Amino acid sequence: MLTLEKFEEASEIVKKVTLETKLVYSDYFSAQTGNRVYLKPENLQFTGAYKLRGAYYKMSTLTDEERAKGLITASAGNHAQGVAYAAKCYGSKATIVMPTTTPLIKVNRTRGYGAEVVLHGDVYDEACAKAYELAEEHGYTFIHPFDDLTVATGQGTIAMEIFKELPLVDYILVPIGGGGLATGVSTLAKLLNPKIKVIGVEPAGANCMQVSLKNGKVTTLPKVNTIADGTAVKTPGSKIFPYLQKNLDDVITVEDEDLVVAFLDMVENHKMIVENSGLLTVAALKQLNVKDKRIVSILSGGNMDVITMSSVVQQGLILRDRIFTVSVLLPDKPGELCRVSGIIAGVNGNVIKLEHNQFVSINRSAAVELRITLEAFGTEHKNEIIAALEKEGYQPKVVRANI
């Protein structure tokens, strides 16, 4: 059972290894939504995510014999680091099975805490099956990343901290992969204040909890497809499912495109790096049909590799019309390129890249294609640039930006 006494015990124990992640009031998201929005920055934890809470509390409840056998788990990255770090604290061996698609930063950091990493499968569920196989073969003690009530109790300590800082909180938004974090947070939140609303947030391409709650039973998705790798789970936890049925008020799903834009918002307005799974609760804010409420968005982690970060920033700029590409046809004669660039400069457009294709038409003197990739201040400025080109007789067509 998840009891208030166990949550209190866990809260004291996890303080030994966690950093104090004070709530951050967001002027930007508050203005965007008409609510008072606070961020719970678990991305600033020592291991870069909240998962250390559950892993360390679980480790504290094991016997010396269970620890001595060696520990094993499966994880897309953040639980892996939590278990590896907790095992290091207790002097135990840890083996972590991670999907082959896990970002390199998560793999390297897990190894950096002294754990042995085994890469297997494309998604978490396949890695988990391999971990069970190795546990059986070597006699390791398995620590499940989410379908474990003790682990969920450790994760729920986040809610204890939220209530201490913001006792009158109205809504808590919590990311969902397998459901461990949501179980701990929603259960403790309802114990402390039954009137509070706890909303789970999943990627639209991995909405196993939403489907399971709708069906009234744990349901496995045929496949998952999302950039939020930390929440790319096909099957939610069966042990924790009854708690989620009882304590979750709703589940919202978020498209990958919204996560990309949320990353850009977080970097520009809060100077914080938050991984895609951690951004679910930020991207979901605009879906809440409420006003003037105290809302806490849990930022579950910040372990994103630089290559992914670069790609997300670029796509975010494109989605916000901060970067766009237009195609114009013009005669192949001297001075035309200078004329086009002068028009763009006249409305403060900044050219990033030019592509000049002479072979778009058989009659080169009639038309060659010029593709211009530009920086703009946003949609209004983009439309101003296009209007300036049209005014000078060109017929610009917006094409997919490729940077």
pLDDT, tens only, 250-297: 999 999 999 999 999 999 999 999 999 999 999 999 999 999 999 999
For residues 47-74, one letter each, b for 16 or more C-beta atoms within 10 angstroms of the residue's C-beta and e for the rest, the string is: bbbbbbbbbbbbbbebeeeebebbbbbb
Say which range, 21-25, 100-104, 118-122, 169-173, has the weakest mean pLDDT.
100-104
Say which range, 12-21, 182-191, 309-318, has the weakest mean pLDDT.
309-318
**Catalytic residue selected from 6, 26, 40, 51:** 51
Sign of the torsion formed by the C-alpha atoms of 305, 308, 314 and 318: negative
Alpha helices in 226-335 (DSSP H): 241-247, 256-270, 280-283, 306-319
Q: Looking at residues 47-61, what average pLDDT do you find?
A: 95
Residue 52 DSSP label = H
Give the model's pLDDT for residue 334. Answer: 82
Q: Is 51 a catalytic residue?
A: yes
Q: How much is the mean pLDDT over the chain?
A: 93
CA distance 72 to 84: 9
Domains of the chain and any CATH numbers: 4-48+149-316 (3.40.50.1100), 52-142 (3.40.50.1100), 321-399 (3.30.70.260)
Q: Looking at residues 5-15, what average pLDDT do you find?
A: 97
**Catalytic residue selected from 106, 234, 300, 382:** 300
Give the model's pLDDT for residue 335. Answer: 86
3 state SS of 277: helix
Q: Is 300 a catalytic residue?
A: yes
